[in-house]
Amino acid sequence: DRVRAPPAAPARELRDHRLRWLLCFRDIARATDERTAITCVVEGTGVSNKAPLIQFEVMEDGTGWTEAAGSALVLACMDSLVLDWAARFSVGGINMNFFIVKQLPVLPPDAFLDEALSGVTYAELVIPRVLELTYTAWDLEPFARDLGYGGDPFPWDEERRHRLKCELDAIFAHLYHLDRPDLEWILDAPYPSASFPGLKRNELKQFGEYRTQR
């Protein structure tokens, strides 16, 4: 009555099921950090419990979206200032737990299908910017290829990257239907409230102005 070992899976089957890239978020969320919700794409490899994974299903709904496109949209939403502002009200300690992540106001997929400009959806505005911000090294070549981009990694340009992130924050302000006073409050709530004191303090020290607000 010996327990028999299961037959070995064919090497081809193992290769086909290898994860090429992962979407994860940072478990630590200290009040002194610039941002609370920090999400990123990493090469398909082992991760620790301090970098929990975000996984979701891509429905066959005729949109032609790939899993990479869905991940790019979730990534941009999770890293937006608007969602980060909401996350700050949810984290009571220093840990971004799963039960908090599941309650964050992540936009539904159909929101990105609305037209931002004539004939251009929000998804078409968001995904190319996410691609340029993430694909800065060959490690994420599979992610770039899955997004339909066949070129080399983008050069790391701080000014260009800051502008792209600000454009994404503006896009998400529209997606969340915020008006100008709403966004001004999120960026820099008046005393005794505080929105992003770490970000403001660091930018004033480095650039002499709160450039994200500008």
Assess whether pLDDT exceeds 60 at residue 70: yes
Could you give the percent of the chain with pLDDT greater than 90? Answer: 49
CB 83, CB 105: distance < 8 Å: yes
CB 55, CB 146: distance < 8 Å: no
Is the backbone peptide bond immediately before 192 cis, with ω within 30 degrees of 0? Answer: yes
Is residue 130 within a helix (H) or strand (E), and if so which, with residue range? helix 122-134
Cα–Cα nearest to 81, from 195, 205, 5: 195
Average pLDDT, rounded, for the chain: 84
Confidence of residue 147 (pLDDT cuts 50, 70, 90): very high
Give the pLDDT confidence of 177-213 residue by residue, as tens digits: 999 999 999 999 888 888 888 899 999 999 999 999 9
* pLDDT of the residue at 180: 92
Q: pTM for the full model?
A: 0.83
Question: How far apart (Å, rounded) are the C-alpha atoms in residues 63 and 109?
Answer: 10
Helix count and strand count (H, E) for the chain: 9, 4
Residue type, 149: Y
Classify burial at 78, counting beta carbons within 10 Å of its beta carbon; exposed 0-12, middle 13-18, buried 19 or more: buried
Give the pLDDT confidence of 99-132 residue by residue, as tens digits: 888 889 999 988 999 999 889 999 999 999 999 9
